[in-house]
Amino acid sequence: MAKTKTQFVCQNCGYNSPRFLGRCPNCGAWNQMVEEKVPTKVETTNAQTNLVGQVAKPELMAKVSIEKEPRVHTQLGELNRVLGGGIVPGSLVLIGGDPGIGKSTLLLQVSGQLSQDKGKVLYVSGEESASQIKMRAGRLGVAGKQLYLYPETDMGSIRHQIEQLKPDYVVIDSVQTMQEPDLSSAIGSVAQVREVTASLMKIAKQNQITIFIVGHVTKGGAIAGPKILEHMVDTVLYFEGDQQRTYRILRAVKNRFGSTNEIGIFEMRAGGLHEVANPSEIFLEERLTGATGSAVVVSLEGTRPILVEIQALITPTVFGNAQRTTTGIDRNRAALIMAVLEKRANLMLQNQDAYLKAAGGVKLDEPAIDLAVAVSIASSYRDKGTQATDCFVGEIGLTGEVRSVNRIEQRINEAAKLGFKRVFIPHNNLKGLEIPKTIKVVGVTTIAEALQKAFN
């Protein structure tokens, strides 16, 4: 009897090795090499055909007709924003996030809404039975007219049901539980995830069926499986948030049909996820009046301006080296701003511990937050608070100058709408600016000038 051939495959990147390795030489991951059987024969595949039997043929690009189909809008405006304006027919969307963050809840709510008047929806679950999904749907108030539940993990059966039902939308929950019957690899292995995703991609592209895929994440926060999984799909969405908090952030990290800078904010309640139309009020609702070490920045997430409170706590260090701790702000950016404050604004910070955070659990990474970070640090160091109706926008250079930022009018209008009376912006942004009557715009050139005007 012939001996079965095996190989060791890295579950992180898909690297193959004839022998076991403790550390993957391709991606450097430890203890990720898993033994898998090598297929004894090459499987032949038929030409790509769609559900109506049409075979793909090469065409001249000049003769290819473009059928512009409108995007499908869900009742969740935040999801439409992140997807770039709605669901694109025939797209393959991957949603990842920590366990219990709300991935299945979001897709079940969207499935119920789409099945009301947008077409048939096939909800395939490899983790729950139909009765369990029905119980969760009852709690969320989901009662779709054309929502079909199908608890199955075999891709052969799933393809057969798609051919019979011909749905407009398919939800796969989750891709790590699906199995191709022709592969002998374990469920959730690199080979299974790759082949399952490839099969779903063919179904989506050839038949204009929109497919949503739920992906598990590793303890590091990345989607489990090979990186090729994210390359194959059209859109990759990440659900972020702390389970101790009720707010969730849906962020696009890849989108072939829209911007990757958009975010959607939801609130988890007993009846499911509810969109947050004005997140700035949430991030500022618990701000203390007259508190030191606090400054408000008008940050831009995609096309949406968001007002976020930046907090700083500066205390004398008791160790040899001063500590620099940040939450929601890049640590290197904070260290750079503190160095500029010490050199250009005469603040002795080298013997001070610094703790900074962006309130509300949001992550800020654009250069326009520099001025607000610097003002909050100076406020805590001097133990002098800023005015509650002031906000700050601007990038800080190493020579202490305040550099201009983009979309300044949109930022100012958002601050005025929320009742702020003054906004500090770079002086170069004042050219050709239309200023609302309800807010005063203060242009600053250097960080020293900004601190002088903010605390006087």
Q: Does residue 102 have a known ligand-binding role?
A: yes
Token pair for 450: 């900004």
Distances (CA, A) of 240 to 46, 264, 320, 393: 41, 10, 36, 25
- Is 156 marked as binding a ligand? no
According to the annotation, is 99 in a ligand binding site?
Answer: yes
Establish whether 294 is an annotated binding residue.
no
Determine the 3-state secondary structure of 302 from DSSP: coil
Q: Is 17 annotated for ligand binding?
A: no
Residues 6 or more apart whose Cβ sits within 8 Å of residue 205 = 90, 92
In 234-287 the beta strands, taken as DSSP E runs, fall at: 235-240, 247-255, 263-269, 272-275
- Is 103 assigned a ligand-binding role in the annotation? yes
The pairing of strands 422-426 and 16-17 is unpaired
**For residue 65, what are the contacts with CB-CB under 8 A and spacing of at least 6?**
none
Is 142:111 a contact under the CB 8 Å cutoff?
A: yes
CA 426 to chain centre: 30
Is 97 annotated in a binding site? The answer is yes
Q: What is the DSSP string of 142-189?
A: ---TTEEEEE--BHHHHHHHHHHH--SEEEEE-GGG-B-TT--SPTTS
Could you list the residues known to form a binding site, using ranges. Answer: 97-104
Could you list the residues known to form a binding site for ATP, using ranges. Answer: 97-104
